[in-house]
């Protein structure tokens, strides 16, 4: 069942009913100011950090679901309705939500009045624009009232939702014409404020939530709207909001635009006030002056569209498969950008108050983003590396505003260091910018401990190489990629952290998954070292990689698949010797991606075991059989009911690893089969089962053991976006950046046919045509570049050359 449709020409997903299975959201903003917005106008806004600088309030676990946002109420005769349906839920005569790239548009009508609400964040601006166009489609004049509504958050989202003994006494606002300023705590330590404005004279306003809504009343039909009269309230403590009342008369056929702006500004500490307790508003005035007219807003919207068109044009494929084209050209790249900006901080599943930016998460996100804006990837790498410790380990998370590591979770996730090598190698291959390796980067954000980025990579490698267990496999620490596989923590009390309880970083428990990572990214480190002229480090890295490869064969192979780990008693996890959890997806994918077992014939066995034991019609489960009880020696993974999350759920994040692994051994049919099962566009017609947005990837789909098999959760902010784009663009379609140029080596399913691809690489544009006359799954027999035939798959990069015309013949 579908609840909308793709409009590929407009780069939109058009939702045709407000009654979607879950709120279907979009993200507005590309740099510092961001908003989440649902298909019924729910959501919230923040500046840089969703925890520390949240601008509008949102209530998770609210009833009704998704019932706080920026709302516009229309009081027309006896009817009160909203252009996005919520919160009044008054039945509309027509409704559409168009989620586009960086914007959302709501088209609705009621009783001859048509509303067109466009929401977006302009490029390089710290505000969100809502342009509301109202049209009288009747043949008579129409008089009605419009009320806006935004509820301010008192900045720190955690404190805002917990510290009521203080918060109910500190709310402050100022009103200047049609602009309402939120200045809570500005009188003391803050020097920033937010504002909500409209480019029209107003007939009333409210800044007190209790006055606007009415005591003991919800937000569906606020008292001020029902009475058609704002209270002109000035908040003092309690719950500050911003609401404007505008009384409107439209003649027959007349349209009128109203431009609402929610913005953020800050002042120098010594220039906060223009009079006692009166904030300096120069920053707000400057923003408002830029977007006062329809022409200014339309120009800003055109600039936004041009910005995204330019970004998405850096990778563009034309194939016979509309789903591949749609996801590769539009939605997958867009989600990679959003995930790069957000990491795992703010979504409808992440409250924005906890995780911030993840070390591992952000490194992986960069894999799908680096081709879009390489200079921002460079900035992110330096930020991430600065949260690393001198021994090569790292904070698992950090806050985007302060760039400081989160002490509550700390370090000890032993896969983290190797992800830095993965991110840097991806950047180097994409850009050829080896100068980044000489950048001085702090350890733990302490400038006196700074060292070149290359030294950070060396310590990342050495951390794993020197933290080995009894089987010469890497120690797992608190966890590896699977945060819920806690082999050293032994949590027994409700409310304890599964990751930080107990010894946490024991000397016995080992991870075969990290071993696969070490082989894959250790080779990358060796190659980087050779580029740096450090042959000693390169030789050592290659030797350690060879030793680890053999350790996996000796202690990590279970006969038909790779073992997952060894626990704190040195017992196997993910083995046929186990009663439950006999096979895991992670080592099968990553070990084969690293080439482990390919020449020995083990790789195919492992992947065949995945298909036989883990595959479902909705994707590959993370493990089988599911855990049916809590195991103290395994931790959080066994705390979930069978079929959910890490306990035998379908983790979309590591399905691409298996697909990539299949391309390593040349099985394009199977690789593409795996790709299709979790690809949103392919499964749009089961939206009533899948539930999450049909235009972006989710983290998890309920596995075969679950009550709701096939139901997804945790959409948008997931490493699935980056890894799936990497899988499609580099493993399947086969256009792979390398240190010396672009390598083209597709692995496609039979019947996929020829395809064309445009790829910007190091400021040069590659026009690539791939032909497959023999209908093979993998193999390149000829590469022709600008009329010249090349040996092998590598097209060397030529400095200064701006365009390449490439023909690849498979066979």
Number of Cβ within 10 Å of residue 789's Cβ equals: 9
Kindly tell me if the per-residue pLDDT of 628 is higher than 80.
yes
> Which tens digit of pLDDT belongs to each residue from 381-408?
999 999 999 999 999 988 777 777 777 7
Average pLDDT over residues 375-386: 97
Q: What per-residue confidence (pLDDT) applies to 392?
A: 95
Q: What per-residue confidence (pLDDT) applies to 731?
A: 99
Q: DSSP letters along 370-392, please?
A: TTT-HHHHHHHHHHHHTTB-TTS
> Which tens digit of pLDDT belongs to each residue from 48-68?
999 999 999 999 988 889 989
Q: What per-residue confidence (pLDDT) applies to 499?
A: 85
3-state DSSP call for residue 344? Answer: coil
At residue 450 the predicted structure's pLDDT band, cuts being 50, 70 and 90, is very high
> Which tens digit of pLDDT belongs to each residue from 84-125?
999 999 999 999 999 999 999 999 999 999 999 999 999 999
Strands (DSSP E) found in 363-481: 397-398, 440-443, 446-452
Q: Token match 């450090």: residue? A: 534
320-348 b/e with 16+ CB inside 10 Å = b? ebebbbbbbbbbbbbbbbbbbbbbbbbbb
Positions marked active-site: 483
> Which tens digit of pLDDT belongs to each residue from 2-31?
999 999 999 999 999 999 999 999 999 999
> Which tens digit of pLDDT belongs to each residue from 160-190?
999 999 999 999 999 999 999 999 999 999 9
Please give the backbone phi and psi of residue 752, each rounded to the nearest 5 degrees, phi first. Answer: -65, -30
Average pLDDT over residues 139-154: 98
Domain map of the chain by residue range?
A: 4-309, 343-454, 467-648, 732-810
Model-level pTM?
0.96
Secondary structure element (H or E) that encloses residue 361, with its range: helix 359-369
Contact 154, 338 (CB under 8 A): no
Q: What per-residue confidence (pLDDT) applies to 503?
A: 73
Contact 735, 725 (CB under 8 A): no
Single out the residue of 11, 723, 678, 758 nearest to residue 336, CA to CA: 723
Name the range with the highest mean pLDDT among 57-61, 752-756, 789-793: 752-756
As a CATH number, domain 467-648 is 1.50.10.10
- Specify the CATH architecture of the domain 732-810: Sandwich (2.60)
As a CATH number, domain 4-309 is 2.70.98.40
Q: What per-residue confidence (pLDDT) applies to 370?
A: 98
**Beta strands at 4-7 and 25-28: parallel, antiparallel or unpaired:** unpaired
What contacts 24+ positions apart, CB below 8 Å, involve 303-310? Answer: 303/122, 303/123, 304/102, 304/103, 304/120, 304/121, 304/122, 304/123, 305/101, 305/102, 307/30, 307/102, 307/123, 308/11, 308/101, 308/102, 308/334
CA distance between the termini of the chain? 40
At residue 488 the predicted structure's pLDDT band, cuts being 50, 70 and 90, is very high
Separation CA 119–CA 320 (nearest Å): 34
Contact 766, 733 (CB under 8 A): no
Q: What per-residue confidence (pLDDT) applies to 257?
A: 99
């Amino acid at each position: 069942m579908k609840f909308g449709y793709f409009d590929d020409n407009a780069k939109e997903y058009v939702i045709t009913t407000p009654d979607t299975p879950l709120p279907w959201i979009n993200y507005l903003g590309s740099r510092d100011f961001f908003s989440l917005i649902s298909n019924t106008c729910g959501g919230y806004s923040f500046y840089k950090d969703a925890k520390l600088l949240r601008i509008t309030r949102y209530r998770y676990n609210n009833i009704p679901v998704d019932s706080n946002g920026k709302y516009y109420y229309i009081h027309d005769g006896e009817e009160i309705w909203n252009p996005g349906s919520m919160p009044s839920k008054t039945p509309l005569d027509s409704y559409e939500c168009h989620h586009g790239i960086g914007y959302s548009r709501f088209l609705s009508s009621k009783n001859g009045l048509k509303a067109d609400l466009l929401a977006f964040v302009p490029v390089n601006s710290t505000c969100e624009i809502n342009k509301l166009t109202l049209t009288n489609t009747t043949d008579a004049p129409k008089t009605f009232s419009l009320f806006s509504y935004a509820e301010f958050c008192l900045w720190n989202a955690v404190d805002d939702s917990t510290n009521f003994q203080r918060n109910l006494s500190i709310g402050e606002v100022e009103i200047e014409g049609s602009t309402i300023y939120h200045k809570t705590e500005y009188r003391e330590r803050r020097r920033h404020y937010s504002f909500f404005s409209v480019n029209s004279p107003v007939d009333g306003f409210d800044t007190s939530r209790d006055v606007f809504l009415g005591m003991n009343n919800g937000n569906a039909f606020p008292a001020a709207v029902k009475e058609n009269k704002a209270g002109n309230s000035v908040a003092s403590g309690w719950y500050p909001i911003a609401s404007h009342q505008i009384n409107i008369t439209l003649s027959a056929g007349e349209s009128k635009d109203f431009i609402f702006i929610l913005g953020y500004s800050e002042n120098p500490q010594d220039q906060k006030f223009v009079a006692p307790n009166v904030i300096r508003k120069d920053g707000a005035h400057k923003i408002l002056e830029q977007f006062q007219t329809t022409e200014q807003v339309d120009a800003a919207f055109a600039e936004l569209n041009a910005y995204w068109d330019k970004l998405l044009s850096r990778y563009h494929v034309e194939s016979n498969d509309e789903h591949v084209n749609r996801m590769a050209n539009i939605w997958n790249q867009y989600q990679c950008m959003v995930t790069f900006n957000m990491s795992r901080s703010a979504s409808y599943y992440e409250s924005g108050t906890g995780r911030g930016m993840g070390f591992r998460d952000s490194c992986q996100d960069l894999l799908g983003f680096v081709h879009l804006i390489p200079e921002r990837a460079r900035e992110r790498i330096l930020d991430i590396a600065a949260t690393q410790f001198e021994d090569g380990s790292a904070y698992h998370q950090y806050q985007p505003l302060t760039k400081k590591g989160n002490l509550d979770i700390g370090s000890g996730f032993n896969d983290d260091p190797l992800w830095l090598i993965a991110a840097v190698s991806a950047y180097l291959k994409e850009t050829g910018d080896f100068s980044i390796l000489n950048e001085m980067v702090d350890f733990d954000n302490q400038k006196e401990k700074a060292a070149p980025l290359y030294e950070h990579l060396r310590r990342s490698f050495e951390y794993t190489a020197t933290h080995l267990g009894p089987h010469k496999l890497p120690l797992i620490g608190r966890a590896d990629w699977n945060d819920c596989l806690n082999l050293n923590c032994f949590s027994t009390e409700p409310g304890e952290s599964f990751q930080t309880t107990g010894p946490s970083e024991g000397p016995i428990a080992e991870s075969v998954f990290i071993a696969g990572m070490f082989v894959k990214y250790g080779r990358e480190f060796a190659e980087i070292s050779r580029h740096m002229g450090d042959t000693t480090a390169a030789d050592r890295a290659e030797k350690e990689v060879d030793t680890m490869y053999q350790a996996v064969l000796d202690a990590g192979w279970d006969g038909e698949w790779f073992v997952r780990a060894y626990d704190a008693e040195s017992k196997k996890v993910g083995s046929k010797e186990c009663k439950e959890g006999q096979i895991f997806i992670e080592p099968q994918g990553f070990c084969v991606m690293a080439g482990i077992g390919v020449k020995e014939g083990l790789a195919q066995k492992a992947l065949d075991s995945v298909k036989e034991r883990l595959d479902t019609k909705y994707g590959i489960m993370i493990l089988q059989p599911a855990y049916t009880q809590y195991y103290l020696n395994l931790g959080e993974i066994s705390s979930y009911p069978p079929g959910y999350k890490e306990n035998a759920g379908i983790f979309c994040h590591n399905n691409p690893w298996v697909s990539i692994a299949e391309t390593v051994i040349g099985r394009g049919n199977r690789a593409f089969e795996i790709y299709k099962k979790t690809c949103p566009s392919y499964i749009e017609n089961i939206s009533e089962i899948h539930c999450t947005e049909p235009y972006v990837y989710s983290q998890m789909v309920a596995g075969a053991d679950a009550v709701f098999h096939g139901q997804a959760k945790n959409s948008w902010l997931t490493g699935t976006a980056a890894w799936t784009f990497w899988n499609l663009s580099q493993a399947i379609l086969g256009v792979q950046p390398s240190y010396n140029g672009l390598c083209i080596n597709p692995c496609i399913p039979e019947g996929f046919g020829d395809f064309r691809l445009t790829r910007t690489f190091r400021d040069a544009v590659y026009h690539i045509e791939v032909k497959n006359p023999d209908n093979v799954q993998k193999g390149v027999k000829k590469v022709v570049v600008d009329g010249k035939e090349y040996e092998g798959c590598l097209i060397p990069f030529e400095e200064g050359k701006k365009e390449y015309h490439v023909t690849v013949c498979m066979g």
